[in-house]
Structure 1
């Protein structure tokens, strides 16, 4: 009888140790993480990213290159929207942060702490950061599954993130869920290189614009396609007024919504410029389902397929404005 009890106790101890190693043993992770942070000078990654909003999904080819040069972090992020074959670039260099739209020959220049201002599922440092906070690490045969609840500043409905790392802590995939367990973002990494040779010219804004314009996709939106409406939005508001006006030889469409929530959507069709246009703007860069936008003074501004959208509200949060933007109709490739 005593032998049976001892045997049972030993089995339980073995199981407990195994469970501990699977879910709580992070010694190997911490050592690998510390080694990466000491030695990481450059990296290049590529991924397929799906931004999901109900039945609507946007697919992006993402390419990120990073270089630390004399304690300055440089980034080049390419987001290619596969549905319209148009690319946006985000470049951080010693002069600031730039968002390039090659199809329009347009550049926005920002000040700020991007990309460290909020978690990013395609920035390696952001993923590594989830290994340091409150999280659950499950050790698997081929790596680690990390579950956490990061605070996405401009996407408050995103409440849970799962990251799959290889044993080397190379990223394999990222899944982000809302509070109801719906998958909102899916990133699948297809390439990851640590400490490749990276030329500083890769972060030159003018060089990037010149090269990107050689393969820039064509804008397919036409004036007769406007206005476009928010159709998949969880806000308590109805269309109160719809106006078309001419300002400085530009046709402007204004949609005013009223109800428990009030907001206004202003749209206009942009034309490609022969000369590169650079605008210095204030505000915060935001990740949208349709690419990159920026928020300042209660206005969310972004461009998709040649249409500039400005969404304004005195009462809605930036997260709610982003939800409206993500629910807007679009003109896809014809």
Structure 2
């Protein structure tokens, strides 16, 4: 296999209602990737790109691209990448295998950084051509929290010379997702629905900045604390790539940047920064992943 392109539907079932995304995946050996995640309902679109210049996360609606020094996607499981699924099957000496009329089904361990929430996955490959059919990521009680259903998998696909070019991808995506026009609309403050045991909200402050309001919410308890900062995202005038430290991390509803003690992300035209003391990265990600819908105060 020199390359492939595929489409998939990604469902995340951790909130009160499932979040559904369409995903377009391109890969050309050895290390070119383009993963386009779109949420049709909210006009959200993000592209994860890997090319000769590095790993980028593009947010077309804000004309922003973030550049990571990262070995993504080699560093952890990626449910929508075929070769990552194969790698997880090969790595797990205790993988459970069964064969059905049309498919090969494996149950394996996942290899997510700091993620005991979804330790297992069920991966189904087509018997006809070994193309991926579906992936179900499960919690320790076998409940499916994330599901990926593949369609239109084409091996040895042909790509244009600049298919993985950062500028080309940004401009073509902006034709589909208009740059956010709702810059002056007030945003709703979101609160995490999952926080480590014993932690509670202590303080909420609202500041006025040159670009509108900034809301700072602080939680603490059990000798741990975290602060969640929210403010309206600004559209970048230049579109110049911003270098960020950390690793790109899939939060489900968006892709963020994870460092040892912080996660930053943009969603629905709002910038979020979560900084913590005393939390493990797993707890940090648990909190971040639970910030995407309005929860009761």
One of 265, 279, 282 as aligned partner of 1:319: 282
Question: With structure 2 as the length reference, what TM-score do the two structures score?
Answer: 0.91
Cα pair 1:252 1:268 within 8 Å, conserved: yes
* DSSP-derived class of the 2:278 partner: coil
Give 1:236's aligned residue: 198
Task: Specify whether residues 161 and 77 from structure 1 end up closer, same or farther in structure 2 by C-alpha distance, changes over 3 A only.
Answer: same
Q: Which of the residues 54, 65, 75 maps onto 1:96?
A: 54
In the alignment, what sits opposite 1:192? 153
CA contact (8 A) 1:52 1:289 kept: no
Equivalent residue, structure 2, for 1:3: none
Equivalent residue runs for 1:8-157 within 5 Å: 40-68=1-29, 72-133=30-91, 134=93, 135-157=95-117
Structure-1-length-normalised TM-score: 0.82
Greater Cα radius of gyration, structure 1 or 2: 1
Report the Cα distance in structure 2 between the residues aligned to 1:221 and 1:271, rounded to whole angstroms: 7
Task: Flag structure 2 segments of 5+ consecutive residues without an equivalent.
Answer: none
The alignment's C-alpha RMSD in Å is 1.8
Closer/same/farther in 2, CA of residues 256 and 146 from structure 1, 3 Å limit: same
Task: Indicate if the aligned counterparts of 2:118 and 2:139 stay in contact, CA closer than 8 A.
Answer: yes
Per the TM alignment, residue 93 of structure 1 is displaced from its structure 2 partner at its CA by 0.3
Given that 2:49 and 2:57 are in contact with CA atoms closer than 8 Å, whether structure 1 keeps it comes out as yes
Return closer, same or farther for 1:257/1:223 CA change in 2, 3 Å cut-off: farther
Distance 1:225 1:109 in 2: 27
Structure with the higher helix share, 1 or 2: 1
Note closer, same or farther for the CA distance 1:131–1:151 as it changes in structure 2 (3 Å cut): closer
Give the total of aligned pairs.
289
Mapped partners of 2:282, 2:162: distance in 1: 35
Aligned to 1:203: 164
Which deviations, in whole Å up to 9, do the C-alpha atoms of 1:120-144 show, x marking residues without a partner?
1001111111331221111221120
Equivalent residue for 1:161?
A: 121
- Distance in 2 between residues matched to 1:200 and 1:316, nearest whole Å: 44
Unaligned ranges ≥5, structure 1:
1-39
> Deviation per CA, 1:204-257, whole angstroms, max 9, x where unpaired?
000111111111156468653342211344543111111112345553210000
